[in-house]
Structure 1
Amino acid sequence: MAAKSDFTLPFVISAGIHIGVLVIIALGVDFSDKPKPQPQVSAPAMKAVMVDQRLVAQHVEKLKAEKRELARKEKARQDELERQVTQARQKRESEQAQIKKLEIERKLKEIETKNAVAAAKAAQLKQKQEKEKAQQAEKVRKQKEKEREASEKAAKKAEVKRKQEEAAAKKAADDRKRKADAERKRKEEAERKRKAEERERQLQEQMMQDALAEEHTALSQTRNKQVMSEVQRYTSMIRATIQRQLVVNESMRGKSCRIFIRLANDGFVTGTKILSGDSVVCRATKVAINKAGRLPVSSEPDVYDKLKEINLTVQPEFN
């Protein structure tokens, strides 16, 4: 508004000057019927008008420059206000964040305090429990000590009784010995005759037993060979059953796994344990055994007895 006023006043002055010039020119005009020569505007007057117009233009440019400067200052002021507002907002946000941080820290300290109190209570409870446990242990120790003393007392009493019984038994034995000596001498002759007859009988029985033992040994060796042959056959069948269920790949080529297998009398697998070998092959072997579920076993007890717990080496086969 102030800029508009500054512009209006020079304009009014300039307009007044122009009007004055026109009035002066008009006063010099003759309005009679006879036409008179028009007075010529002097060079100084024209020059004055041109100077005034130039001053007005300069003043207008000055006013525009001042207006621009005012606009620049106003913008700078507005920018400063916005900066101050932004700075105040940031400061307020920072203060709010600090307050929030302090609140979080306060809550954390409250939690730490609660945890410390809980830990203290737990430590007190643990100390109380340990004290009670120690008291109970001491009570048990004292009870065991009493039992030990009672046991030692009973043992001493039993030892006295045993010695008394041994003495009585020794006396009775001596009496029996004296009687037995007489009886022994009587029987010795009869016994000598009986032993002679017994030696003859035992000699004959020994000869018969030796013959039977030789026959039994021969039969046992034959049966052992049969059993081992059956064990080998069933071991091969077990390995073949596992091989059929074994999923192989090229990474297993040339590798093996040694595994312990426990079998029920119907062939059901009750337990396995990896002994050694490649981890991939061993894992696949356990999967194959679990998939098979039951493995071949003999119904003959002596063959099954050698198959119920076996160590088996499994090596993947490739076509």
Structure 2
Amino acid sequence: MAKSDFTWPLGISAGIHIGAIVVLAASVSFDDKPKVVSQASAPAVQAVVIDQKQVNERVERIKQQREDEARKEKARQDELERQAQEARKAREREQQRLKQLETERKQKELETKRANDAAQAAKLKQQQEKEAAAKAEAVRKQKEQERKVAEEAARKAEEKRKQEEAAAKRAEEERKRKAEEERQRKAAAEAKAQQEREMAEALAAEQAALSKARNQQVLTETQRYQAMIRSTIQRHLVVNESMRGKSCRVFIRLARDGFVTASQTLDGDQVVCRAAKAAINQAGRLPVSQEADVYEKLKEINLTVSPEFN
């Protein structure tokens, strides 16, 4: 700020001096022959010189004024800086004082809290001791009550024991009576069960004999019809000498009336298998029994076809 204050008057002074120099230069003639200056031009030169002096004085006054203002401004800035430093120091002292007050406040709060905690602990201890005494009294009364209850329970238990002994004696007598009745009942039931087992065994033996006889009959009928089926196939089988000693195993599915619903060669000589397949298809219907259990054995059969030669 002081630098700008000095720059302005110096600029004004420089401008005035430059203007004066220009005026003087304009008034000087550069002709070879010097001109005689008339007496009348002397006042003008004197006026210029006087004006220049006044300008210089004016410049000096302005310069002096600016310097005074600069000193005053510096003094003012110094005063402001001093006040700022004092304010900063005062603020730091205030902050230190506040910090000290805060420390003291926290210390007092801590002391107050400790006092409150101690009072609370003492109160709690007193309350716990009171509760412990009340609990001990309650335990004493409870034990006294339990003793009385135990004595009453022992008395009742003794009465109950005597009653139970009498009841057990009666129950034993009742048990023996029921056991005798149960023994007699079981003996009768065992005799009846034995009789029923014997009857069942006899019936089962009879059924087994009948079933065996029927199974034998079914087997015989099945074999008979298989022989009839094989004979029917043989009647339709076209044979040649190349088939001698060879055979083919075939699968046949029959309807209830003997109609061939499916046939398939399983294994064997290919020539014999083709001939057997053709013979089965040509027969179309094969012998079957009208009895259901025999038909069950015949509805799906595997037969071995072996060409017969006369």
Pairwise TM-score range, normalised by the shorter structure: 0.3 to 0.5
Q: TM-score, length-normalised on structure 1?
A: 0.40
Q: TM-score, length-normalised on structure 2?
A: 0.41
> Which structure has the bigger radius of gyration?
2
